[in-house]
Chains A and B, each alone.
Chain A
Amino acid sequence: MPEKTETSTSFLPDFCNARMVFVIILLAELLAIVLALAQPAHVQDRLFSLALYSMFIQCISITCAAFLCIFRGKLNALPDNWAATLSFVLIMVIAFTFIELSWWMFSRWSVVDSSLGAHWGFVLRAMGITAISGALALRYFYVQHQWRRNVELESNSRLDALQARIRPHFLFNCMNTIASLTRRDPGKAEQAVEDLADLFRASLQDSHRLTTIENELALCHRYINIESLRLGDRLVVNWDIDKLDQQAVIPSLTLQPLLENAIYHGIEPRAEGGDITISGETENQLSRITISNPLETGERMLHTKGNHLAQENIQQRLQALFGKNASMTISEQEDQYRVTITLPVQANENIDR
């Protein structure tokens, strides 16, 4: 993967690539054609000037591509604006060299007026064209890179979000539980299917949806119902939410994933199970909700590879909604793992329920 991120974060494309070289040649030729077409009407040999422009511009652009290919690794290590500036300077230097060289050749063959004024006029015009077309080309690469990165980021974050919400292990174990219950206890199986459906409906909704704390806690209850079927009396859940204002607003799927983490990391790895405590209170227009689970003291926990994806996701959503008034803190003490979210009480006027 590091290779992939390297290419996706660098804004300069790979100029060593044959396709890229072709794009460069094509762009250069288009510029030559534009210049040839822009010649005043009295110019006789338009084709000759096209050939001349083509050769001149192709030489410069291919040399630029070659140099950018060589220095790409170094340029990409720099921040985008530095890389762009340096690439631009490189293009200008190469163009200047070619312009001077061609002037020198033309004046030797005496096909042009070799006066000083004519010389500088030629250099300035040529450099002007180079500067504008070079800047445009760099801009084009930059925009294309941004676009590609956005597409990539968006699809990644969608995938991450989905995986953070639905753990495959949970889903398939749950299916297995339901399969087992359909024989032994159809009533419970029915209940489990209903709970699972509600859970998935919530998971598939827009992640920016708002809900009330009351609804979110109801979702937690459904989730606990399912987990209790699987874990039996290994799972004990204590509720301490009498002082919590349940009508306040909370982003949907804030508490349930934290509860899922608590069960996954705190209960499942323990043969004897344990207690999960959900406590909350509202004070001075601030609600504080804590979910705590036993901390596995053993060397190797069953699920050590928590990637904190769910936690990061929740923190981001809280921040986006409430700014710095909301926070999420994590503490480990006395063999308890605690996640606390704090959020301001906000009225629930515009919530779809």
Chain B
Amino acid sequence: MKILIVDDETLARERLIDLLNEDEPSYQCLQASNGVEALELIQTERPELVLLDIRMPVMDGLELAQHLMTLSGPVPAIVFTTAYQDHALEAFENNAIDYLVKPIRKERLMRALDKASQLGQAKLETLQHIDTESRSRQHFSASIHGKIILQPVQEVAYLKAEQKYVTAHWPGGEMLMDESLKSIEAEFNDRFVRIHRNTLVAIDAIRGLEKDDEGNSVLLLRDIEDKLPVSRRHLAGIKKLIK
């Protein structure tokens, strides 16, 4: 069995490797120190099981699990590891997705392994219920040719809805995502502001407001040429924000 161990602490990873090897030396253990590295390895190495720490820099375990939902093809089973009861984890109490508390006991780890191999694929859908409530992702993701592409949320200048897709724009790039503007607005309500029925703009990317040739208000952005129309409905709010 191929197992990916994701934890930002080297000693925590080594402990898991020790415990796994003690049980079955034939396990093939891979290591990653954060969610972004893990996502890369999951796509190239296709491990069957991921032992995933919740709290990590760059991208934490819960966010990685969220991005994995968009992965096409087999999704690895996930067992979360955590130092202390996280509220977010309570959602999994009775679910296929297991979690282990540190220091991890060998028996408990073995039980989780059994559970994971029995179930084959973990049901990641439950993650959808917790994602928007109290936490927001650090990355947007899109699946392109079966590969997940990540884009740090803080670099995104604006998001525009076109038909059923949303396009994220940032200086020097854009990405088509299978998400709704409404859910993004709800998740990142302190970062993006709505300026039009189909546009969200990053508050800190706003440079100024001006009128175009026809007298309509358009928003100017930092480091990006596009001028975005502001609807009359949102104009007052935007003016207030700029002040």
Contacts and interface: CB of A to CB of B under 8 A. Distances in A.
- How many of chain B's residues touch chain A, expressed as a range? 20 to 34
A173 interface: yes
Interface in A147-191: 168-169, 171-173, 175-181, 183-184
Interface in A96-149: none
Interface stretch (A49-57, A65-73, A266-274, A279-287): A266-274
Given A168-B83, A179-B15, A302-B55, 5 more contacts: A171-B83, A172-B102, A173-B12, A177-B12, A180-B11
A215 B138 CA distance: 41
A108 B184 CA distance: 79
A315 B239 CA distance: 40
Contacts of B136: 300
Interface of A is mostly: helix
A183 B16 CA distance: 12
Contacts, number: 76
A231 B9 contact: yes
A306 interface: no
A40 interface: no
B57 A271 contact: yes
B231 to A, nearest CB: 26
B11 A229 contact: yes
B154 A299 contact: yes
Interface of B is mostly: loop
19 contacts: A168-B83, A172-B83, A175-B102, A175-B103, A176-B12, A176-B15, A177-B12, A178-B103, A179-B15, A180-B15, A180-B18, A181-B11, A183-B15, A230-B12, A231-B9, A298-B152, A300-B153, A302-B56, A302-B57
B83 A169 contact: yes
B83 A177 contact: no
B84 A168 contact: yes
B83 A176 contact: yes
Interface residues of A, number: 26
B85 to A, nearest CB: 8
Interface string B94-125: 00000001111000000000000000000000
A232 interface: yes
B242 interface: no
Nearest to A178: B103
